[in-house]
Structure 1
């Protein structure tokens, strides 16, 4: 079957590691099922996989992709929850120390078919297209958990979202607006800041700019480049929620500020199946939809990967079969 995959990592030139071609069709073990993929979306996780980050060479070749929507073996329209917990695990899947995402241990979604545990299938609302639904399980679910479970935010509170064009950040803008938050966003370019206004931001600022007031929470996915600004922007007792570090993982801690102003720093990773169902309900009930940069056939996936590597994204890239 035609697939988007990696056979050998390339830390310096991830696009050079990207392969498009034939891979064997997957077989579903006991308790798993096969899904015909209609749409799969691109995430930074896929770029990390090409670099060999979180995906050692001994697990390759590996089909890329964590997100997908499609048709299950019974003909149902489904969405895949991509957090694969270990056998027998109960409770919050994100706390399972042996959990993985699709394309880390098990083959990913950028192919004609993918196999997943039966419990990882979620019914796709008829109101969402396959392309829209495929955007939700990683970046959008991560943003949803950050804004609901982790941040302690209430309607009317102000949230700062660092980075105007990242996948999680773009999702967070739209979700934050939909749940009644005041949304402030930073961006490196005027073009990206203006795009953020269309994605849900109430106000936009240059990266590192002095804000007109303190915020109740900051959503951090950039890391070293924006960490200090996030801490300086928080009110006393405010919350910084971090789920990524695209600019580097080792910022200045500024611990004096953290403990003196009693700030909360919360790490966040993905979300549960229940939270994914909650996100789908929010989309269904409010009309919220993911921002899609471009829909491409799977055979043209390289264009989307290159745009993400170059930082030229303003929403999700979706690949279709």
Structure 2
């Protein structure tokens, strides 16, 4: 049976130190420009100088297209699989709803031994993101083949590495950054190893992911989490990285500022709440569900707004004594964008990592230029940012919110809960049983 993390397991926030009484001075942010990355036809997963590991359990066929070296195309297929098999949660075909197309496979081929620069990780726990639904429904602009394994978040133990120099990683409990940059010749003016790169791709989307007993990942994308709880660790990575990159690196969040977070309850929104609390910010959240607002208030939100389709920007301005908020974090999109713009203080920033309600939003350009607002797009984050935010998790200064823990054989129920949007925090699969 699925376990409510709050009732069946100790509250993660009671297991380590929190910032409710003392806020550690935040790590100094790094400046960065921002634009969203564009998806392309799925390709193999070579980093500079590294062979492709996608082929270890890929069912893709060789594909050659302009601009793709023949060597890269050959690596899509042709690796010899080990005879052993593993359990894996697979999506058999794209469609809506996703859950009926999901099943636990007992006979999925295990990845082969990792090549140079890669690690084979035995999964302890994996966690769901909205990305899992996109993979199940079909990602616009990507021609994905099915069945496939999604999963951009997991905690596991390194079992094998491809280089002698990487052997200290063996036996280490890790999480990973799912964003990888494929092998190619970057432009001279392009930031290195950045999600701004035209060919940045995702483990769990472009490439088979972590909802399986084992997966392969680049060594440089790993972060050591010590003896941290695997359930919490699995739930932490992608959403915390996304929230940190957009709030701290791009929007330059400062201690004591006021922050608006729309659609509280999802992984990115709850991570944004934790980061804002870590910085000692005043926090306002919105939701269509009163129970989610009540939960957010327990976690540190000082203002909650029930979103019933009204112009709630007036409530935000009343809360800030007509000043407006310094930062609006909006992953909802079309349904909330204009209210966010109207809620911002002069010089404020609007940041978006997604648009679950749709991309075609109405805005107010007069407010944007007159109030000198910043509108920032953000997608995941760099490995440097990932290690920075992972260090805060390991120190107990940032914690994910866990909704429910399922076993692998309950994967369809996990997808149903994710699709139903009735969760608050992350949904996790525990592979240790």
TM-score relative to the length of structure 1: 0.94
What is the match of residue 199 of structure 1?
299
Aligned counterpart for 1:68 among listed residues 149, 154, 158? 154
Give the stretch that moved more between structures: 130-139 or 286-295.
286-295
Deviation (angstroms), 1:267: 0.3
- Name the counterpart of 1:18: 102
CA positional deviation for 1:199: 2.7
Partner of 1:78: 174
Please report how far the alpha carbon of residue 182 of structure 1 lies from its aligned counterpart in structure 2 after TM superposition. Answer: 1.0
Superposed displacement of residue 92, structure 1: 4.2
Q: Is the 8 A contact 2:129 2:267 kept in 1?
A: yes
User: What's the secondary structure of 2:211's corresponding residue?
Assistant: coil
Query: Does the 8 Å CA contact 1:54/1:104 hold for their aligned counterparts?
Result: no
| Cα distance in 1 between the residues matched to 2:235 and 2:354 | 18
Runs of 4+ in 1 over 6 A off after TM superposition: none
Structure 2 residue 242 is the aligned partner of structure 1 residue 142: yes
Query: Which residue matches 1:245?
Result: 355
Displacement of 1:125: 3.1
1:105-143 CA-to-partner distances (Å, cap 9, x unmatched) read: 3210000000111212211133x2111111122112111
Deviation at 1:179, TM superposition (A): 1.6
Task: Please give the residue correspondences for 1:185-224 in structure 2 after superposition, counting only pairs within 5 Å.
Answer: 185-207=285-307, 208-209=311-312, 210-211=315-316, 212=318, 213=320, 214-224=324-334
Question: 2: CA distance between counterparts of 1:87 and 1:197?
Answer: 45
Q: SS of the residue aligned with 1:302?
A: helix
**Which string of whole-angstrom CA distances, capped at 9 and with x for unpartnered residues, describes residues 240-291 of structure 1?**
0000100111101322221122110000111111112211222334543211
1:49 touches 1:55 (CA, 8 Å); kept in 2?
Answer: no
Question: Which moved further from structure 2: 278-287 or 165-174?
Answer: 278-287
Q: Which runs of 5+ in 1 are unaligned?
A: none
Q: 2:212 aligns with which of 95, 108, 111?
A: 111
Any stretches of 5+ residues in structure 2 without a counterpart? 1-85, 160-169
Distance in 2 of aligned mates of 1:199 and 1:251: 30
The structure having more radius of gyration, on CA atoms, is 2
Q: How many residues align?
A: 319
Alpha-carbon shift at residue 152 of structure 1 (Å): 2.0
- The CA RMSD measured in Å over matched residues stands at 1.7
- CA drift at 1:83: 0.8
Per mean C-alpha deviation after superposition, the further-off stretch among 93-102 and 242-251 is 93-102
Contact 1:237 1:262 (8 Å CA) reproduced: yes
Kept in 2: contact 1:63–1:103 (CA 8 A)? yes
CA contact (8 A) 2:123 2:213 kept: yes
Counterpart-to-counterpart distance in 1, 2:157 and 2:303: 40
Query: In structure 2, how many angstroms separate the alpha carbons of the residues matched to 1:18 and 1:270?
Result: 26
Q: Hey, what's the Cα distance between the residues in 1 that align with 2:331 and 2:144?
A: 29
Q: Is the 8 A contact 2:328 2:344 kept in 1?
A: yes
Alignment partner of 1:87 is 2:183: yes
The residue number in structure 1 matching 2:380 is 270
Name the structure 2 match of 1:175. Answer: 275
The answer to whether the 8 A contact 1:62-1:103 is kept is no
Instruction: Tell me the equivalent position of 1:283.
Output: 393
2:145 is matched with which residue?
59
CA contact (8 A) 1:185 1:196 kept: yes
Closer, same or farther in 2 for the Cα pair 1:190/1:105, shift >3 Å? closer
- Work out whether residues 7 and 57 of structure 1, in 8 Å CA contact, stay in contact via their aligned partners in 2: no
Deviations 1:10-57 (A, max 9, x none): 1x3222222321321112344322100111100000001100015845
Q: d(CA) in 2 for partners of 1:286 and 1:105?
A: 32
Residue in 1 aligned with 2:119?
33
